[in-house]
Amino acid sequence: MKKIPVFAAKDDLMVSLTFHEVPASLLTEFAQKIAKPFYGGSITNAVEDLMQQAIAEREFVLSHIRYLKSEGHG
C-alpha cells in the first residue's frame, strides 16, 4: 500500500467532502441512529469522529500484529 503524505499542523487544512451513490435511506438511518443521539445531529462531527476511531483501531491492531511477529508468534 502506498503511503500518502499527511500534512498535520496546528491549523489543519479543512476540505469539503462529497459522497456519491449513497442511498438516502442509509444516510437517514445514520443521522437518526448515530449523528442525532451521539453528535448533536451533526453528520460532519459523526463522520469525522468515526474516521478517527477507525484509524486508531487499525493502528492498534497493526501494532499488536507487529508485536506478535517480533515475538515469533506469526
Q: Residues 15-41: pLDDT tens digits?
A: 899 999 999 999 999 999 999 999 999
The pLDDT of residue 8 is: 61
How many whole angstroms separate alpha carbon 17 and alpha carbon 38? 21
Angle (CA) 13-16-21 rounded to 5° is 145
Is-contact 35 42, C-beta < 8 A?
yes
What the block records as the C-alpha cell of 68 is 506478535
pTM for the full predicted model: 0.69
* Closest alpha carbon to 43 in 21, 26, 59: 26
Q: 35: which residues sit within 8 A by CB, 6+ positions away?
A: 41, 42, 43, 45, 46
Over the stretch 56-74, which tens digit does the pLDDT of each residue have?
999 999 888 887 888 876 6
Whether the pLDDT of residue 47 is over 80: the answer is yes
